[in-house]
Chains A and B, each alone.
Chain A
């Protein structure tokens, strides 16, 4: 049992033995992750809208209008992602 406890303590303490590493740019990474998630959700929305059109839930006119709007929103997200990545330190 002592061996088990010792192994656990060593495993838990291992990161502390490697020295202090401050978390840089956590906020930036988190925002980028949120933008990635939003972009993926937007792509899914574009695919869902097309699926709704092909299965008869949307007329062609409605689908094209919705698709344009969704793609505009997708491009906006991509621009925000690009701007975010450009502003991040190397």
Chain B
């Protein structure tokens, strides 16, 4: 089977190389047969990679340890769900997933444009196949997922316990879908530049893919944040980690593009800016992949230093150089058709919004690559942490949130001062009211948070006013009920109202971020059973220790859980019970004793979380296993001196020994270290994210046939007649 998988990858590489040649020849020689053949090469690539992924998946599901990848990233004790998703926990498997998703999205766009964009599509196909060839070559020559072992082990090393979380397994497919979908507008932008077909058609055709990329990448980012909050044991959701930043940068420039492209569609302006943005987004998507694969920057996510750094660097240099050359050589064709009519216009607001988003991206880029730059220039590695990022990101984020409320209030082309005064009154009143109320109740310790709450109130006021006026206008024309009018309004203006929902979601998210950052109460305490710690309005009592041996589906011991049961009381409210524990997974190091290997391997934290709409209470325990060390060593010695045991006897005695050890922890518990965090409004971050995704899905939803009806002769006559009458 491994040979079949390798054959698939080699065939995929050959298909890519043929497809590039066929597409380019067909485009240059105007041969539709070669263009069609190149397009079919993309479909065949997708088919071949589906088979390759299927082979690898089967190997993981069957725990076929003759595959090196399976033996190093899975085990018989790994639950089925995680065995299926463990495929992309490795470098090789994740590269295969990346190129598979690229092939699938490429097939979709080329199928949908098979009768359109006939000049541009072949070049876009060649670019997409070029990416395919690059990744297939990596898989064939450097990082094959189908390497086999001459002597397969009886048991695998298992999945990294940190990755045993549902959101962490969905997170890579979401992120990679975002990255690979951004390759689509990149490829079509290159095709449009090469062919000088720089009208709106290629933008319109690729817009759904750009929006889908933005949506998937955003979902992947939020899943990662949720995983960090729930699994990493530090109680935070964003650490400005290089790999987090790598996914944020293309999302920021993609967001900027989705806004500014509207100006190009309406006014024929910002063509250079837009094509540069979409090319930069494609480069940043590859750069994000490069950061993870090359191990060039320290990160909890990175797969460690590998041989992939140089190839990725070459690809990025080619992409950047080619993009700059294309844009520079087509500058004449990219001239704007119109100028900005007024600074008091939605175009001007979008332009400012773009500058802020690109500014945010630049800050993130600089902070992420600063260690490299510093090392290159001074020979010493320096790093920047969250305080540096927060210092520059916070003011930009404030401006961004404010603009997300201002934009919907201003008309396209030009707005008058009188209209602005009328439209800004309610939102400004809402912002000032919230500001005054918060100051009155003493929320003054963080100016940034105070401003964010006020600006968010401005956004909610603006969007609420827009919605109200839109429904009122609809009802004036149609006599619909309020719900029917709202539904009709959104259906006829999906992009607008989907966008408004996204803006509302962003404001909700930033309120959550501001509150949880500025007003978080965190304690690191050592408690004995029976002792209580107060945090805010909560009293947390360490009731008793807990312990548990967990067996896998095949009966083998999978891990030991040592933890704590906590009693939570909020003011005079009811008592709640929370449980937090640390899971200890055994190491595969054969030099370790059978008992001690359970405490020398990976450990994960299972937090206790009481989530609420106003506040989260988060707790994690770090048991003191130092007191268990003498008994652990004693147990190892007993096993070392025991006569040869059968596997079943070994497992039975090990279970007894570990049961005794865990009982000794609960019978005579040492003080345990607890991290307690009370964070206001964290739930607003997740709720805001859901609103953002709902808004994106609304904007992405295809318009009905009625909206796509072409202009009729009667429509033409009507337009002309009304102009004559005017």
Q: How far does the alpha carbon of A68 sit from the alpha carbon of B412 in the complex, in Å? A: 15
Q: Known: A56-B423, A62-B414. Contact between A1 and B118, CB under 8 A?
A: no
Q: Known: A56-B469, A78-B716. Contact between A5 and B7, CB under 8 A?
A: yes
Give residues 178-219 of B contacting A (CB, 8 Å): 195, 197, 199-201, 203-204
- The answer to whether B37 touches A16, judged by C-beta atoms less than 8 angstroms apart, is yes
- The answer to whether A51 touches B470, judged by C-beta atoms less than 8 angstroms apart, is yes
Q: How far does the alpha carbon of A16 sit from the alpha carbon of B19 in the complex, in Å? A: 13
Question: Contacting B51 at CB < 8 Å: which of A4, A23, A38, A54?
Answer: A4
Q: How far does the alpha carbon of A50 sit from the alpha carbon of B412 in the complex, in Å? A: 11
- The answer to whether A62 touches B416, judged by C-beta atoms less than 8 angstroms apart, is yes
Question: Contacting A56 at CB < 8 Å: which of B30, B200, B419?
Answer: B419
Question: Contacting B415 at CB < 8 Å: which of A1, A18, A19, A58?
Answer: A58
Please give the distance in Å from B49's CB to the nearest CB on chain A. 11
A21 CB contacts on chain B under 8 angstroms:
31-33
Give residues 366-416 of B contacting A (CB, 8 Å): 409-416
Q: How far does the alpha carbon of A39 sit from the alpha carbon of B8 in the complex, in Å? A: 46
Give residues 3-50 of A contacting B (CB, 8 Å): 4-5, 8, 11-16, 18-23, 26-27, 29-31, 33-41, 43-45, 48-49
- The answer to whether A26 touches B7, judged by C-beta atoms less than 8 angstroms apart, is no
A48 CB contacts on chain B under 8 angstroms:
266, 412, 496
Q: Is B48 an interface residue (CB 8 A)?
A: yes
Please give the distance in Å from B163's CB to the nearest CB on chain A. 32
Q: Is B675 an interface residue (CB 8 A)?
A: no
B8 CB contacts on chain A under 8 angstroms:
1, 4
Q: Interface readout for B409-450 with A: 1 if CB under 8 Å, 0 if not?
A: 111111110110011000000000000000000000000000
For chain B, the count of residues having a C-beta within 8 Å of the partner chain is 64
Q: Known: A1-B8, A5-B7, A14-B40. Contact between A22 and B31, CB under 8 A?
A: yes
- The answer to whether B410 touches A72, judged by C-beta atoms less than 8 angstroms apart, is no
B195 CB contacts on chain A under 8 angstroms:
30
Q: Known: A34-B199, A56-B419, A71-B723. Contact between A8 and B411, CB under 8 A?
A: no
Q: Give A36's nearest chain B residue, CB to CB.
A: B201
Q: Give A62's nearest chain B residue, CB to CB.
A: B416
Q: Is B302 an interface residue (CB 8 A)?
A: no
B35 CB contacts on chain A under 8 angstroms:
23
Q: Give B718's nearest chain A residue, CB to CB.
A: A71
- The answer to whether B33 touches A18, judged by C-beta atoms less than 8 angstroms apart, is yes
B266 CB contacts on chain A under 8 angstroms:
41, 44-45, 48
Residue among A14, A39, A45, A56 with most chain B CB within 10 A: A56
Q: How far does the alpha carbon of A68 sit from the alpha carbon of B719 in the complex, in Å? A: 10
Q: Is B622 an interface residue (CB 8 A)?
A: no
Q: Give A67's nearest chain B residue, CB to CB.
A: B726
Q: Is B711 an interface residue (CB 8 A)?
A: yes
B476 CB contacts on chain A under 8 angstroms:
54
- The answer to whether B418 touches A59, judged by C-beta atoms less than 8 angstroms apart, is yes
Q: How far does the alpha carbon of A51 sit from the alpha carbon of B467 in the complex, in Å? A: 12
Q: Is B509 an interface residue (CB 8 A)?
A: no
Residue among B3, B33, B118, B493 with most chain A CB within 10 A: B33
Give residues 23-50 of B contacting A (CB, 8 Å): 30-37, 40-41, 43-44, 47-48
Q: Is B117 an interface residue (CB 8 A)?
A: yes
Q: Known: A11-B40, A55-B469, A57-B410. Contact between A16 and B34, CB under 8 A?
A: yes
B3 CB contacts on chain A under 8 angstroms:
1
Q: Is B720 an interface residue (CB 8 A)?
A: yes
A59 CB contacts on chain B under 8 angstroms:
416, 418-419
- The answer to whether A34 touches B197, judged by C-beta atoms less than 8 angstroms apart, is yes
Q: Known: A23-B32, A37-B201, A62-B416. Contact between A12 and B720, CB under 8 A?
A: no
- The answer to whether B419 touches A57, judged by C-beta atoms less than 8 angstroms apart, is yes
Q: Known: A23-B32, A54-B473, A74-B719. Contact between A38 and B200, CB under 8 A?
A: yes
- The answer to whether A27 touches B31, judged by C-beta atoms less than 8 angstroms apart, is no
Question: Contacting A71 at CB < 8 Å: which of B36, B414, B722?
Answer: B722
Give residues 96-126 of B contacting A (CB, 8 Å): 116-120
Q: Known: A1-B8, A34-B201, A52-B412. Contact between A23 and B30, CB under 8 A?
A: yes
Question: Contacting B47 at CB < 8 Å: which of A8, A43, A72?
Answer: A8
A33 CB contacts on chain B under 8 angstroms:
116-117, 199, 201
- The answer to whether A23 touches B118, judged by C-beta atoms less than 8 angstroms apart, is yes
- The answer to whether B473 touches A55, judged by C-beta atoms less than 8 angstroms apart, is yes
Q: Is B229 an interface residue (CB 8 A)?
A: no
A34 CB contacts on chain B under 8 angstroms:
197, 199-201
Q: Is B11 an interface residue (CB 8 A)?
A: yes
Q: Is B241 an interface residue (CB 8 A)?
A: no
Give residues 449-475 of B contacting A (CB, 8 Å): 466, 469-470, 473
- The answer to whether A56 touches B422, judged by C-beta atoms less than 8 angstroms apart, is yes
Q: Give B197's nearest chain A residue, CB to CB.
A: A30
Q: Known: A4-B48, A4-B51, A56-B419. Contact between A22 and B32, CB under 8 A?
A: yes
Q: How far does the alpha carbon of A66 sit from the alpha carbon of B266 in the complex, in Å? A: 13
Q: Is B636 an interface residue (CB 8 A)?
A: no
- The answer to whether B15 touches A12, judged by C-beta atoms less than 8 angstroms apart, is yes
Q: Give B470's nearest chain A residue, CB to CB.
A: A55
Q: How far does the alpha carbon of A4 sit from the alpha carbon of B204 in the complex, in Å? A: 36
Q: Known: A11-B40, A30-B197. Contact between A75 and B33, CB under 8 A?
A: no
- The answer to whether A72 touches B723, judged by C-beta atoms less than 8 angstroms apart, is yes
Please give the distance in Å from A80's CB to the nearest CB on chain B. 12
Q: Is B18 an interface residue (CB 8 A)?
A: yes
Q: Is A64 an interface residue (CB 8 A)?
A: yes
Question: Contacting A68 at CB < 8 Å: which of B419, B720, B723?
Answer: B723
B15 CB contacts on chain A under 8 angstroms:
8, 12
Q: Give B422's nearest chain A residue, CB to CB.
A: A56
Q: How far does the alpha carbon of A36 sit from the alpha carbon of B722 in the complex, in Å? A: 21
Question: Contacting A49 at CB < 8 Å: which of B118, B412, B419, B716?
Answer: B412
Q: How far does the alpha carbon of A45 sit from the alpha carbon of B48 in the complex, in Å? A: 44
Please give the distance in Å from B58's CB to the nearest CB on chain A. 14
Q: Known: A33-B116, A41-B200. Contact between A8 and B44, CB under 8 A?
A: yes
Q: Is B265 an interface residue (CB 8 A)?
A: yes
12 extra interface residue pairs, beta carbon distance < 8 Å, beyond A23-B118, A59-B418: A4-B11, A4-B48, A12-B18, A12-B40, A18-B33, A20-B33, A41-B265, A48-B496, A49-B413, A54-B473, A62-B414, A71-B722
4 A-B pairs closest in CB distance: A34-B199, A54-B473, A15-B36, A23-B30
A-B contact pairs, 13 of them (CB 8 A): A1-B8, A4-B8, A8-B48, A21-B32, A22-B32, A31-B199, A33-B201, A37-B200, A44-B266, A48-B266, A51-B473, A56-B469, A78-B711
Chain A interface residues (CB < 8 Å from chain B): 1, 4-5, 8, 11-16, 18-23, 26-27, 29-31, 33-41, 43-45, 48-49, 51-52, 54-59, 62, 64, 66, 68, 71-72, 74-75, 78
